[in-house]
Structure 1
Amino acid sequence: MLISGLAVGAALGFVMQRGRFCVTGAFRDLWISRNTRWFTAFMVVVAIQSVGVFALDAFGVISLRTPDFAWLATIVGAFVFGFAIVLAGGCATGTFYRSGEGLVGSWMALAMYMLVAAVAKYGPLGASTKAFRSVTVPVGTVYESLGVSPWVLVLVLVAGVGLAVRHHLTRPKRFVAILPPERTGVAHVLFEKRWHPFATAAVIGVIAIAAWPLSWATGRQSGLGITTPSANAVTWLTTGDVDLVDWGVLLIAGLLVGSFIAAKASGEFKLRVPDARTAVRSVAGGALMGIGASWAGGCTIGNAMVNTAIFGYQGWVSLIFMILGTGVATKVFITGRRGTSVGRSTGKSAGASAGTSVGTTTPAGVVPA
């Protein structure tokens, strides 16, 4: 059953690469251009997953449990992580799928992220991380605190996200020049046609739901997650402890495989070497991502996408402080340096820029595929 982790990871990497699903761009858009389109797409994933997860819990397929809320570590770690993803040019998952496209800067960020996550969880910093996360309050989920059924919050979330989607779908569409297709049928849709953000989000939401029972069947009682599997992979490589190779480790391996297949088949794979400043930022951003995610108990996937779906305090507080951290880094490295909004100067939202890997708008120096 462990092999299902590889399959889920490959599917996730493929869809994220082809859909240009960039969480960093979604958060950064909120600050640069006040555009919520990609953030709405991100919340579509959360809403769809929330419906599926609570249905699985209701039918006894999984049994949701939420530990006490490590509030201090979550706040500080999430803010650091949000700041770091702007430096690194992508969050943990984005760094994985861009590595599959051949971006050497993402390789650097990914290597540092995985290494520092292992150090912060199992290495010299492990004790301090554990102590930091021991500062807790005895609450786990929002619906438990309110004393209501989780389905009440699920309905509110689905309704709110549905209204946001409707808002964006009913806005006037911009004219976009499209070249004549070179492929037909399924090949055109999979490898050539531009994917809509909301369609991409819906597919990712289904994949996120499937991850729960498949991971649960192997003894790993969680859904999608990147930080702990990354730390486990590095620790396994350095210690040889095969017990660390679980469903999650195969998941992140699948991310690289799936994104490489998508990039190669669509003609978007190309080795791209960053300049010196970009390389330094990639390394620094990756290191800060590793420590921030370890303190917060997860990254934009494990916390902001998965824990939010089960209405855990850790997830929603992380989401807020990741966005705040992204905002500060955006002010320091993007809008503050240029003295103007990238979205206004280019006529595009930052999410669109990030989604198409435009190097002039990202500190990581990502260039057009």
Structure 2
Amino acid sequence: MLLTGLFCGILLGFVMQRGRFCITGAFRDLYVTKSNKMFVALLIAITVQSVGFFILKEVGWLNIEPVKNFEFVAVMVGSFLFGIGIIYAGGCATGTWYRAAEGLIGSWVALFMYMLFSAMMRTGPLGEFNQTLRSVKVDERNIYESVGISAWWLVALLTLITGYLVYKHLAKPQAKVATLKPKKTGLAHILFEKRWHPFVSATLIGLIALAAWPLSVATGRIGGLGITTPSANIMQFLITNEVKFINWGVFLVLGIFIGSFIAAKGSNEFRLRLPDTQTMIRSTFGGSLMGIGASLAGGCSIGNALVATAYFSWQGWVSLPLMVLGTWFAAYFTIIRPQQLKAVTA
């Protein structure tokens, strides 16, 4: 059954790499380019998963409560730090995994630091700091339970908002994009050559995220897609050689790497790229912040922004805007401010 995690990860890695599905870009573009296209794509993935999740619960195929006490201090601090980290690292947790599979050495550095600091925040020297912040919590879990309404009201609201935003985008006149003559035909062209629309990629990711729930629960792991804990588990296994760290989530993230590598090789996008010193330093710093932030927040941009939002936990919907604010904060100092200084000196 653990191999279903590998299969799920391969699908997710393939779709994210070919669809160029970048959550960091979705957050950053809201501020830097004033575009919300990728953020709407994220909402599509959340909505698809949310509808499916509550249907599975309604029919009794998913009898779980994947929520816990709201550790609000750790979630707020960690989410903001994580948002800063993904800008410096050049990608979120999943984005770092799939970019590493494309041959980006900078992403390898960020990934190693992310895994290392995630492990340190659990059982290493930063564990006490992690537990101290996470000990501040309230017994408020799901938003719909706190408000006293059915979860379906929130599902309906999310679906309406997402549908409206999708309609607005699709109703806009689409600019013609020059395309090269296809070198592949049939399915190979669609899988490895054709440009994927972000909304199509998001729908597929939402379905994969939904499938992850019953597949993961069947192995005794209560949760859907998750990147931070499995990444830390890999590091802890390599250090301790204890098989207790190997579970469905570990196979998931390894599958993401494999699926991304297959997609990158098939589309001729794989090549080893050695970054300059500044990028290496940024990747090291960003990966470290990602590990610290995601551990404090109880999840990364997948665990919190994609999964926890789908079942309307406070953790997910508080974490999401703070991740966005973190990316904006970092984008100002790495993108906006340098451009302003360049314009002044030009």
CA distance in 1, matches of 2:30, 2:179: 28
Please report how far the alpha carbon of residue 294 of structure 1 lies from its aligned counterpart in structure 2 after TM superposition.
0.3
Could you tell me which runs of 5 or more consecutive residues in structure 1 were left unpaired when the two chains were aligned: 342-369
CA distance in 2, matches of 1:56, 1:175: 41
Out of 63-72 and 204-213, give the one that drifted further: 63-72
- 8 Å CA contact 1:71, 1:314 repeated in 2: yes
Matching residue of 2:279: 278
Matching residue of 2:333: 332
CA distance in 1, matches of 2:66, 2:103: 39
Superposed counterparts of 1:106-121, under 5 Å: 106-121=107-122
Matching residue of 1:24: 24
- 8 Å CA contact 1:82, 1:323 repeated in 2: yes
Partner amino acid for 1:57?
A: K
Superposed counterparts of 1:144-293, under 5 Å: 144-293=145-294
Give structure 1 regions of 4+ aligned residues with deviation exceeding 4 angstroms. none
- Give the 3 Å change call, closer, same or farther, for CA 340–178 of structure 1 in structure 2: farther
CA distance in 1, matches of 2:210, 2:294: 22
Q: Deviations over 1:272-319 (max 9, x none)?
A: 000000000001100000000000000000001000000000001110
Matching residue of 1:364: none
CA distance in 2, matches of 1:14, 1:289: 23
Structure 1 position 36 matched with structure 2 position 28: no
Count how many residue pairs are aligned between Structure 1 and Structure 2.
341
CA distance in 2, matches of 1:320, 1:210: 26
Matching residue of 1:348: none
CA distance in 2, matches of 1:340, 1:213: 52
CA distance in 2, matches of 1:218, 1:122: 24
CA distance in 1, matches of 2:123, 2:175: 50
CA distance in 1, matches of 2:42, 2:141: 23
CA distance in 2, matches of 1:240, 1:127: 23
TM-score, structure 2 normalization: 0.97
CA distance in 2, matches of 1:18, 1:158: 26
Superposed counterparts of 1:62-141, under 5 Å: 62=62, 63-141=64-142
Please report how far the alpha carbon of residue 340 of structure 1 lies from its aligned counterpart in structure 2 after TM superposition.
8.7
Q: Deviations over 1:301-341 (max 9, x none)?
A: 00010000000000011101000000000101101111299
CA distance in 2, matches of 1:100, 1:129: 30
- 8 Å CA contact 1:57, 1:64 repeated in 2: no
Percent identity at matched positions? 54
CA distance in 1, matches of 2:223, 2:55: 15
Partner amino acid for 1:127?
A: E
TM-score, structure 1 normalization: 0.91
